[in-house]
């Protein structure tokens, strides 16, 4: 049979001659058979091993009937909320309901429930009763321990308890699902599968040698205990030296086995060579298709893992800190396949991963011992053992540029500028500017205050300034007018009002005019979220200032867009609260003009509209523009 989408109906099963599935896969996103979507990878890995897999995507959870559509599977049910935590997908940082959903047909919101993993699992139990249920994906992975939930504003139990699933797979999952599937097929009961790395399960007792971390009850009652728990979780996320963790919930234990070892280059190549259709299922065509495919359809994932160590990012807790990458030949083969798509216009939108320019382990030690337990590779400064080397990535990009029919290869998934600056060879930096930027390069300094950067786990501002200077010098030498677009974040733990004022001064001095900025979003599984909830840095147990009031967060956000006339009142209020009235005036260093001049400044005409003229609000040529809602979901 020619390559096709996996069955989504009984008719599809009949075409393949299947009476029963081995695994039913419930997915909280639309069915997109592309390796940028976790459900596509897991289902194709199982297919390659000979298992029959069917997909039910975005089932109507208000009834049990949609979960019966493909019948009772022989071995078990797999459940994922999708590529994004369902609560992050549904709500903005201000907890307002989103009006669109790029992972649903026609970009229409409201097609999955809040806390989708839990709701889907409860429906499965209602329909199939006692059947092996395995949960995975970002939502399950980042909520595997007792965790602070921003939307409930409290500590919730491990999602494994609330979902009533049998096994939780954390991390990327290919090895875990293959081993679990083979054990189930061999007749081993699901409650006896307790030794698979990269999984969690519930037990009546803690295994011998396990490290007991503060219980759910302790975490809910004590913020210090919660911070202790988070620290131990992060310290043990090492497949080579990590310990089994046990966290008591009532009279039961959440057991986390040691993390799974990263896939080798050959294994990663194999995963990305599977028979993906590289598109959404045609059943969505009438509803307008799936928006999320647009950016990734002609992009290539080249690596996994991230040793960047940003505290607001959950990658270390999900993919891990050990970087692996595909071979150059594998990436080139994918590009050759991409060229055959009739919609391909010659532009590869991205070649990268969590961080585009990480293609190998940070140092030789990581190959056998993993990442250091209590040290970071890039923070507070570059580790002396780190090998900053872009040669493999550069070869990959050169090979792609040389392909017939490829007009341009972009890099959009994020460059770690501190790692780039640590490389003594400038070949990659020069070719990045010459070939892989379309006018603007997006980078993520996030802030300029070293107080805030310390809480973020980011390098001091002087590193970004040095990178910026070098970027513009290289472009000047190339005769190109290209600009940096810095991603910036307001109200991160550690950010005082004075820090926000300093950031606004920096933007003013450097003529940066961000149209969109990101408020800190306390998502599950990050160190920054722990700081937000506890007011403590879990690594040092030092107190951290946390801006929580809606008033202060609004002021910090407004300061990042001080040129916008609509923000003038908030900016003035912030400057007065910070005792920085010296920044209200007419000199170049001032952020806003005095109130009596505000009307003239905005240039409002008789219709009440803002006229574009001297002193009015308009984008500075070459300044930083904004970013979309995706920034709340993925940051570098």
Mean pLDDT of 369-394: 95
What pLDDT, in 10s, does the model give residues 292-323? Answer: 999 899 999 999 999 999 999 998 899 999 99
Of the candidates 397, 400, 369, 371, the residue with the CA atom closest to the CA atom of residue 386: 371
Residue 265 has what pLDDT? 98
Q: How far apart are alpha carbons 403 and 598 in whole angstroms?
A: 55
Q: Report the C-alpha gap between 486 and 484 in whole angstroms.
A: 6
pLDDT band at 610 (very low <50, low <70, confident <90, very high): very low
Position 79 in a domain: yes
E strand map for 413-559? 440-446, 483-490, 518-519
Residue 158 CA to residue 152 CA, distance in Å, equals 14
**Cα angle 362, 364, 366; round to 5:** 65
The predicted structure's pLDDT at residue 336: 97
At a CB cut-off of 8 Å and minimum separation 6, what does 287 contact? 105, 106, 108
- Predicted confidence at residue 617, as pLDDT, reads 26
Tens-digit pLDDT profile for residues 140-190: 999 999 999 999 999 999 999 999 999 999 999 999 999 999 999 999 999
Q: What is the DSSP letter of 570?
A: H
> pLDDT digit string (tens) for 534-569?
999 999 999 999 999 999 999 999 999 999 999 999
Residue 169 counted as domain residue:
yes
DSSP per-residue string spanning 576-610: HHTT-GGGBSSSTT-SB--GGGHHHHHTB-TTSPB
410 lies in some domain: no
Residue 411 lies in a domain: no
CB 264 within 8 A of CB 324: yes
In a domain, 233, yes or no: no
How far, in Å, CA of 311 to CA of 313, rounded? Answer: 6
Measured CA to CA, the distance from residue 585 to residue 195 in angstroms comes to 67
246 within 8 A of 253, measured Cβ to Cβ: yes
Domain containing residue 97: CATH number: 3.40.50.280
Q: Establish if 212 belongs to a structural domain.
A: no
What average pLDDT does range 361-371 have in this prediction?
Answer: 95
Could you tell me the pLDDT band of residue 597, with boundaries at 50, 70 and 90?
low
pLDDT of res. 516 = 76
Q: What is the pLDDT of residues 39-57, one digit of tens each?
A: 999 999 999 999 999 999 9
* Number of domains forming the structure of the chain: 1
Tokens 């009984």 — which residue? 10
Predicted pLDDT of residue 89:
97
Does residue 63 lie within any of the structural domains?
yes
pLDDT for 599? 47
- pLDDT category, 1, cuts 50, 70, 90? low
Once rounded to an integer, what is the mean pLDDT over residues 319-345?
97
- Alpha-carbon gap, residue 254 to 244, rounded angstroms: 11
DSSP 3-state assignment of 549? coil
Q: Are 309 and 378 in contact (CB under 8 A)?
A: yes
Instruction: Say if strands 347-348 and 245-249 run parallel, antiparallel, or are unpaired.
Output: unpaired
Residue closest to 400 by CA, chosen among 270, 272, 298: 298
- Give whole-number Cα distances, 246 to 111, 226, 480, 571, in Å: 36, 14, 56, 48
User: Would 501 be classed as within a structural domain?
Assistant: no
Closest CA to 622 of 493, 494, 472: 472
The rounded distance, in Å, linking the Cα atoms of 491 and 555 is: 9
The chain-wide mean pLDDT, for the chain, equals 93
| Overall average pLDDT of the 619-623 stretch | 34
pLDDT number for residue 97: 97
- pLDDT recorded at residue 316: 85
Q: How confident is the model at residue 129 (pLDDT cuts 50, 70, 90)?
A: very high
Strand 347-348 and strand 324-325: the pairing is unpaired
Separation between Cα atoms, residue 539 and residue 175, nearest integer Å: 31
| Other Cβ atoms within 10 Å of 132 Cβ, number | 21
Instruction: Quickly list DSSP for 398-416.
Output: HHHHTSTT--EE---S---
Inform me whether the pLDDT recorded for 634 exceeds 70: no
**Hey, how many other C-beta atoms are within 10 angstroms of the C-beta on 324?**
21
Helix, strand and coil content of the chain, in percent to the nearest 5, comes to 35, 15, 50
pLDDT at 611: 31
Q: Count Cβ atoms below 10 Å from residue 189 Cβ, excluding itself.
A: 10
Q: At a CB cut-off of 8 Å and minimum separation 6, what does 460 contact?
A: 380, 450, 453
Domain region containing 34? 10-205+250-256
Instruction: Report the share of the chain in percent with pLDDT over 70.
Output: 93
Token pair of 580 as six digits: 């920085």
Find the distance separating the first CA and the last CA of the chain, reported in whole Å: 41
Tokens of 376: 């970071």
**Cβ-contact 575, 583 below 8 angstroms:** yes
Q: How many angstroms separate the CA atoms of 274 and 34, rounded?
A: 10
Read off the pLDDT band of 601 (50, 70, 90): very low
């Amino acid at each position: 049979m020619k390559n096709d989408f996996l069955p989504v109906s009984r008719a599809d099963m009949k075409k393949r001659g299947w009476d029963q599935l081995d695994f039913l896969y419930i997915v909280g996103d639309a069915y997109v058979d592309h390796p940028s979507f976790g459900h596509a990878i897991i289902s194709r890995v199982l297919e390659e091993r000979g298992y029959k897999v069917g997909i039910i995507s975005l089932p109507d959870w208000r009834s049990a009937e949609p979960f019966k559509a493909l019948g009772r599977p022989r071995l078990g049910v797999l459940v994922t909320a999708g590529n994004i935590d369902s609560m992050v997908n549904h709500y903005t940082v201000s907890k307002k309901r989103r009006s669109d959903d790029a992972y649903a047909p026609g970009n229409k919101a409201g097609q999955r429930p809040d806390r989708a993993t839990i709701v889907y699992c409860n429906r499965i139990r209602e329909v199939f009763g006692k059947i092996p249920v395995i949960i995975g994906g970002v939502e399950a992975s980042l909520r595997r321990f007792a965790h602070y939930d921003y939307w409930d504003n409290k500590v919730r139990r491990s999602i494994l308890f609330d979902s009533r699933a049998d096994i939780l797979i954390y991390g990327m999952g290919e090895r875990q699902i293959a081993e679990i599937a083979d054990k189930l097929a061999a007749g081993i009961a699901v409650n006896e599968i307790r030794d698979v790395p990269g999984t969690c399960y519930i037990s009546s007792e803690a295994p011998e040698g396990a490290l007991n971390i503060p219980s759910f009850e302790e975490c809910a009652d004590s913020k210090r205990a919660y911070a202790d728990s988070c620290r131990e979780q992060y310290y043990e996320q090492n497949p080579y030296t990590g310990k089994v963790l046990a966290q008591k919930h009532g009279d039961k234990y959440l057991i986390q086995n040691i993390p799974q070892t990263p896939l080798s280059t050959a294994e990663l190549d194999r995963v990305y060579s599977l028979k993906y259709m590289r598109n959404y299922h045609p059943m969505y065509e009438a509803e307008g298709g799936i928006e999320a495919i647009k950016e990734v359809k002609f992009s290539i994932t080249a690596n996994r893992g991230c040793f960047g160590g940003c505290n607001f990012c959950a990658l270390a807790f999900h993919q891990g800190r050990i970087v692996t990458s595909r071979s150059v030949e594998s990436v080139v083969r994918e590009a050759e396949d991409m060229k055959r798509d009739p919609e391909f216009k010659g532009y590869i939108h991205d070649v990268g991963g969590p961080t585009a320019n990480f293609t190998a382990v940070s140092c030789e030690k990581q190959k056998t011992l993993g990442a250091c337990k209590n040290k970071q590779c890039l923070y507070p400064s570059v580790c002396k053992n780190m090998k900053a080397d872009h040669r493999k990535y550069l070869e990959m990009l050169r090979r792609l540029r040389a392909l017939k029919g490829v007009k341009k290869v972009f890099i959009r998934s994020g460059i770690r500028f501190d790692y780039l600056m640590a490389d003594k060879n400038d070949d990659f930096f020069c070719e990045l500017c010459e070939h892989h930027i379309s006018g603007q390069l997006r980078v993520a300094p996030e802030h300029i205050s070293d107080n805030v950067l310390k809480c973020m786990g980011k390098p001091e501002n002087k590193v970004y300034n040095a990178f910026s200077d070098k970027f513009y010098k290289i472009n000047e030498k190339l005769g190109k007018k290209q600009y940096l677009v810095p991603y910036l974040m307001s109200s991160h733990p550690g950010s005082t009002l004075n820090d926000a004022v300093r950031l606004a001064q920096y933007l003013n001095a450097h003529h940066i005019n961000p149209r969109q900025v990101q408020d800190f979003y306390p998502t599950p599984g990050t160190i920054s979220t722990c700081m937000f909830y506890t007011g403590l840095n879990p690594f040092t147990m030092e107190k951290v200032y946390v801006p929580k009031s809606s008033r202060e967060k609004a002021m910090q956000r407004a300061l990042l867009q001080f040129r916008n006339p609509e923000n003038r009142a908030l900016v003035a209020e912030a400057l007065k609260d910070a005792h920085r009235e010296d920044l209200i005036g007419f000199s170049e260093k001032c952020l806003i003009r005095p109130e009596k001049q505000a009307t003239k400044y905005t240039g409002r005409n008789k219709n009440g509209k803002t006229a574009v003229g001297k002193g009015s609000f308009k984008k500075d040529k070459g300044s930083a523009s904004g970013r979309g809602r995706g920034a709340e979901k993925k940051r570098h």
